[in-house]
Chains A and B, each alone.
Chain A
Amino acid sequence: MILAMLETAKGAISEASWETITAARDLAQKTNDSVAALLIGKEVRALTPMLKGVSAALVAEDQQLDSYVPEAFARIASEAITQKSPQIVLAPGTETGNDLMARVAARLGLGLATNCTEFSVEDGALRMVTRSNWGGSLLEEVEILSKPILLTLQPHAIPAQAAAGAEPTIEALNPTLTAKEFRVRVKEILRSEKKGISLTEAKIVIGGGRGMGSAEAFKMLEELAGLLSNAAVGATRVATNNNWRPHSDQIGQTGTQIAPDLYIACGISGAIQHMVGCKNSKKILAINKDAEAPIFQRADYGVIGDLHQIVPALIAELKRVKGV
C-alpha cells in the first residue's frame, strides 16, 4: 500500500493533495502496489467519490477536527500507519503537511524526507528520492533506511493529473482522542484585510535590493509599478532586514515565492536566498550597475547601469508614451 495523506480546505481537496495522489499513483504503478488515501477532518467522507484510481479511502472524522489540530491529526495518522503497514507514506510538502509528517515520524521513530521532487524506482522498489535543499537551489539524492518510508512532496514538482477508475472503498477509522491531542489548537483566526495586488497574484513584480540604498528609493519602484499593468513591488532580504520594506514584501527562500510573467530586479545582485523566490518567473529583467553580478547569469534581459538613473528615465518615458 502507498498511503497518500490528503489535506482539505473549505470542503475541498487541496491542489497539493491532488499532486500527492498523482505521485502516489505513479509510485504504486512502478512498485506494483495500490494507493490508499487518508482523510482527516470534521466532515470529509463526502470527498471520497472524487478519488478515482485510489483503491481505499481511510476516513477519520471527529466533530472537534474542524481545522488542523496537529497532535490529533498526527495520532490518527500514526495509528493508521501502524495498523495498515504501507510501504510508503506520502504527504504534501506544504507547511501543514511537513508539520504533520514531522510529528508522525517522531511518534513512529522513523526517518522523513521532506520536499521530494523525484523518485527513483528500481526493480519494483523505491531506492532513492531527490529532495530540495537550499529552497530548491540544490537537489539532494537521499536513501531512506527506515520503513515504512515517509515522504513529503514539494508543491508544484509533479503536476496533478486526473485519473479514471472506480471510486475507492471507504473504511472509517474511529479515532480515540484525548485532551492531550488538543493542547495545541487554533484558538482564533484573525482575517487580514487585503491591500493592493499581492506579490503572488501580480503579473509583473518589481523587486528592489541592496542597490536601492534606502526606503525612500522604493517610492520610484511604486511609481513604476503604477505605470505597468497588474504590477506589485517586492524586495530582497537585505532590503527587509534594513527595514526599507516590511518582511511581507520579501521575495526569497525565507519570504514569498513568486511566479509572475515578468520580474524586474533592480539593484539585486542575485543571491541564492533571493533567486529561490523568483526563479519561477517566466521572464527576468535585471538592472544592475555591476556587469559581473550573478543575477545576469539567471536573467533573460539585462541592463547594465545605475538604477537611480535608469528607473527615473524609464518612468519619464513610460509617462510620455502613455500620455500621462
Chain B
Amino acid sequence: MLVCVKRVPDTGGGFKLTPDEMRVDTTNLGFAISPHEECAVEEAIRIIEKHGGSSTVLTLGPPAAGEQLREAIAKGITGAILLEAEDYESWDPAATAQAIAETVKPLGFDLLLFGNESADTCNYQVGVRVAHLLDLPCVTGIKALEIQNGKAIAKRETKEGWEVYEVALPAVFTVKEGINTPRHPSLRGIMSAKKVPIEQKRVTRLAPQLVRKTLKKPQEGRQLEILGQGPEAVPKIVEKLRELGAI
C-alpha cells in the first residue's frame, strides 16, 4: 500500500503572511499532516493490520517533511519515501503528480491512498492525476473502504446517503476525514520510528502551469459586542436571543 501525505502548517487561530505576500509566514508555526491524509494514513494502517502486507508513506516537500513521514511510521506505516524539493511551494498539482507517478510506477502498489484535497492549497487533483498517469481506476472523496478478494468497496457520502463503488485493484482512492478517527502514536512507536530509514530522492519540477502571484486575506466584517462575563451575562444573552428570534 502507498499513502501520500502533505506537510502543512498548523495554523491555529490565524494567519500571518510573509512580507512579499506569497506564502503563510510559518516562523512560529508547527507542521502537521494535512487532515484528510492523516485519515488516509490511519486507513492504510488498519487495512494492513487486517489483511497483512506492507505500507509506504510518501511526501513531496522540504527535507523537514521527514517529520511527517516519521509521524506516520510511529503510528504503524512501515516504509517512507521523501521526494525532496526545496521549492515545493511552487509545484503545481500536475508537477507533483508527475514526480509521484514516476517514483511509484516501478514499485507496483496494489492500493494507493491520497487525501481528497490538501488543507492549504485545496487543489483537489493530485490523486486523480497520479491515477491517470498510472492508468488506474480512481474514486475521490471516499469515507469508507473495504478490501475483499482483490477488490475494493468504497463509499462516498452524498446528501441523500451513500454511493457504493466496487473497483478492481490496483486502484487509487482519495480519502476524506470521517472515514476513521486517527490514532495517536505510542511512545514506543515514536522511538522506533527514529530508526526507520527514509528513502530520499531529489526531484526536479516540470514547468508549472499554475503560477501564484499573490496571497491575500479576504475582508472580514464583524464588530464584537461583549455581552458580559460569566453567568451574570445570562439575562443579556436571553435578551439577544429574543432579539434574534431564537426563542
Please tell me if the beta carbons of B177 and A114 are within 8 angstroms of each other in the complex. Answer: no
CA of A139 to CA of B120, assembled, Å? 11
Among the listed B11, B129, B177, B217, which residue makes an inter-chain contact with A254, where contact means beta carbons less than 8 Å apart? B177
> Contact between B122 and A141 (Cβ–Cβ < 8 Å)?
no
A248 lies within 8 A of B178 (CB): yes
Using known A-B contacts A99-B141, A186-B163, A243-B181, determine if residue A134 contacts B35 with beta carbons closer than 8 Å.
no
| Chain A residues with CB under 8 A of B218 | 136-139
**B28 on the A face (CB < 8 A):** no
Contacts of B123 in A (CB 8 A): 112, 114
For A240-283 the 0/1 string (1 means CB < 8 A from B) is: 11010001101001110000011000000111110000010001
The residues of B that contact A243 with a CB separation of less than 8 Å are 181
Q: Which of B11, B13, B139, B207 has the most CB atoms of chain A within a 10 A radius of its CB? A: B13
Contact pattern, A 78-116, Cβ under 8 Å of B = 1, otherwise 0? 000000000000000001001100110111011111110
- Closest A residue to B133 by CB, please name it: A106
B155: A residues at CB distance < 8 A? 190
The stretch from B70-78, B80-88, B191-199, B231-239 touching chain A is B231-239
State whether the Cβ of A305 lies closer than 8 Å to any Cβ in chain B: yes
Query: Which residues from 220 to 247 on chain B have a C-beta closer than 8 Å to any C-beta of chain A?
Result: 220, 222-231, 233-235, 237-238, 240-241, 244-247
Q: Contact check, B211 vs A145: say whether CB atoms are below 8 A apart.
A: yes
Inside 8 A of B36's CB, which chain A residues have their CB? 254
Let me know if A189 and B160 touch, CB within 8 A.
yes
Q: Does chain B have a CB within 8 A of A195?
A: no
| Given A300-B224, A305-B229, A111:B132 Cβ within 8 A | no
In the assembly, what is the distance between CA of A261 and CA of B241, in Å?
11
A269→B122 CA distance, assembly (Å)? 23
A298→B182 CA distance, assembly (Å)? 29
Q: Identify the stretch in B47-55, B104-112, B164-172 within 8 Å (CB) of chain A at 4 or more residues.
A: B164-172
> Is there a chain A Cβ closer than 8 Å to B27's Cβ?
no
- In the complex, what distance in Å separates the CA atom of A309 from the CA atom of B229? 11
Among residues of A, the one whose C-beta sits closest to the C-beta of B238 is: A317
Known A261-B245, A313-B234; contact A99-B122, beta-carbon cutoff 8 A: no
Measured between alpha carbons, how far is A110 from B238 in the docked complex, in Å?
55
Which chain B residues border A314 with CB–CB below 8 Å? 234, 237-238
A76 CB within 8 Å of chain B: no
Tell me the chain A residues, 21-75 only, with Cβ under 8 Å from chain B.
67, 70-71
Given the complex, which residues of A lie within 8 Å of B212, measured CB to CB?
140-142
Q: Give chain A residues whose Cβ lies under 8 Å from the Cβ of B207.
A: 145
- How would residues 152 to 176 of chain B score, 1 for a CB under 8 Å from any chain A CB and 0 otherwise? 0001001011111111100000001
**What residues on A are CB-neighbors of B190 within 8 Å?**
none
Q: Mark B115-157, 1 if CB is under 8 A from A, else 0.
A: 0010111111100110111000111110000000000000100
**What mask results when residues 218 to 233 of chain A are scored 1 for a CB within 8 Å of chain B, else 0?**
0000000001110100
User: Would A184 and B209 count as touching, CB distance under 8 A?
Assistant: no
Chain B residues, Cβ within 8 Å of A137: 15, 217-218
Interface secondary structure of A, over-half rule:
mixed
| Minimal beta-carbon separation of B31 from chain A (angstroms) | 14
Q: How far, in angstroms, from A141 to B212 measured CA to CA in the complex? A: 6
Q: Report the Cα distance A192→B178, complex, angstroms.
A: 16
Distance A65 CA – B56 CA, assembled complex (angstroms) = 37
Measured between beta carbons, the chain B residues less than 8 angstroms from A188 are: 163-164
Whether B227 and A142, one on each chain, are in contact in the complex, defined by CB atoms closer than 8 angstroms, is no
A248 to B143, CA, bound (A): 11
List the A side residues contacting B164 at CB < 8 Å. 186-190
Cα(A305)–Cα(B11), bound, Å: 25
Task: Tell me if B132 and A133 are in contact (CB < 8 A).
Answer: no
Decide: B210 and A113 in contact? CB cutoff 8 A. yes
Contacts of A272 in B (CB 8 A): 11-15
A146 touches B241 (CB 8 A): no
Interface string of A297-320 (1 = CB under 8 A from B): 111111111100110011001100
Cα A71 to Cα B131 with chains together (Å): 11
Q: Is there contact, CB below 8 Å, between A228 and B215?
A: no
Q: Is A170 at the interface (CB under 8 A from chain B)?
A: no
Task: Tell me whether A271 and B213 are in contact (CB under 8 A).
Answer: no
- If A115-B122, A188-B164 touch, whether A262 touches B246 (CB-CB below 8 Å) is yes
CB-CB under 8 A from A13, the residues of chain B are: none
Would you give 9 A-B contacts (Cβ < 8 Å), ordered by A? A70-B139, A102-B125, A115-B124, A145-B210, A186-B165, A190-B155, A228-B246, A304-B229, A309-B230
By Cβ-Cβ distance, the 8 closest A-B pairs, closest first, are: A111-B209, A294-B13, A247-B178, A106-B132, A305-B230, A102-B128, A313-B231, A254-B177
